A and B are shown apart, each in its own frame.
Chain A
Amino acid sequence: DIQMTQSPSSLSASVGDRITITCRASQSIRSYLNWYQQKPGNAPKLLIYAASTLQSGVPSRFSGSGSGTDFTLTVSSLQPEDFATYFCQQSYTMPLTFGGGTKVEIK
């Protein structure tokens, strides 16, 4: 199985901050990397697919980059509604696997 490792596991930030979350795959997954946002009590929501394509309706302050084994999710200016947990997921091969999550909290 491909292991997905996210860092950090949690971070504290303020509204307006720029944050970056990293996801590393245990082997190359080309650009088959997706990002989700999950708020407490809710299902995950797709933010970015294929490493850098913004899902329809997702604010442009979210961006993704990377290929191979190293990927990043960036929020350019954190908004109050962005405090949530973020997960990466590889879709290169089965079994499909997720990172452990990064919880973004208010500083």
Chain B
Amino acid sequence: QVQLQESGPGLVKPSETLSLTCSVSGDSISTYYWSWIRQPPGKGLEWIGNIYYSGSTNYNPSLKSRVTISVDTSKNQFSLKMSSVTAADTAVYYCARVGGGGNNWFDPWGQGTLVTVSS
């Protein structure tokens, strides 16, 4: 079955760029939309954005100015870059597959990776 695994630095300095990669196994990335979602410690979930294998993206307007999601079909991976981070960006970052047929539910999810923004 499809599995997702996030990877990237667990500590990022304020004002720098957060970079994460999601590796997909058990399914072709060229089949669905894929998403990034985050969860600050002890808080709720926030959708960051989606990407299709073609490179078509949708972003949360609240983060759009700082976020870029890209895809590498040759590696079956997609990535997140978030610039000018602050402590408010400290969160567990999840990647997930988006339900097909225009139905934007998330299943499955990666295990998540904690990113702490601190000097």
* A46–B94 CB distance below 8 A: no
Residues of B close to A91: CB separation below 8 A: 99, 103-105
Q: How many residues of A contact B (CB 8 A)?
A: 23
In the complex, A49→B106 CA distance in Å? Answer: 9
Q: When each residue 46-63 of chain B gets 1 if its CB lies under 8 Å from chain A and 0 otherwise, what string results?
A: 110000000000101110
Is the pair B47, A96 in contact by a Cβ cutoff of 8 Å?
Answer: yes
Shortest Cβ distance from residue B54 to the other chain A in the assembled complex, whole angstroms? 17
Chain B interface, number of residues (Cβ within 8 angstroms): 20
Question: When the two chains form the complex, which single residue of B60, B61, B62, B105 contacts A89, counting CB atoms closer than 8 Å?
Answer: B105
- In the bound complex, do residue B103 and residue A50 qualify as a contact, i.e. CB atoms below 8 Å apart? yes
Q: Are B47 and A95 in contact (CB under 8 A)?
A: yes
Q: How many whole Å from B93's CB to the nearest CB in chain A?
A: 11
Complex interface: stretch among A12-20, A61-69, A72-80, A97-105: A97-105
Which residues of A approach B to under 8 Å, CB–CB?
Answer: 1, 32, 34, 36, 42-46, 49-50, 55, 87, 89, 91, 94-101
Residues of B with Cβ closer than 8 Å to A? Answer: 44-47, 58, 60-62, 94, 99, 103-112
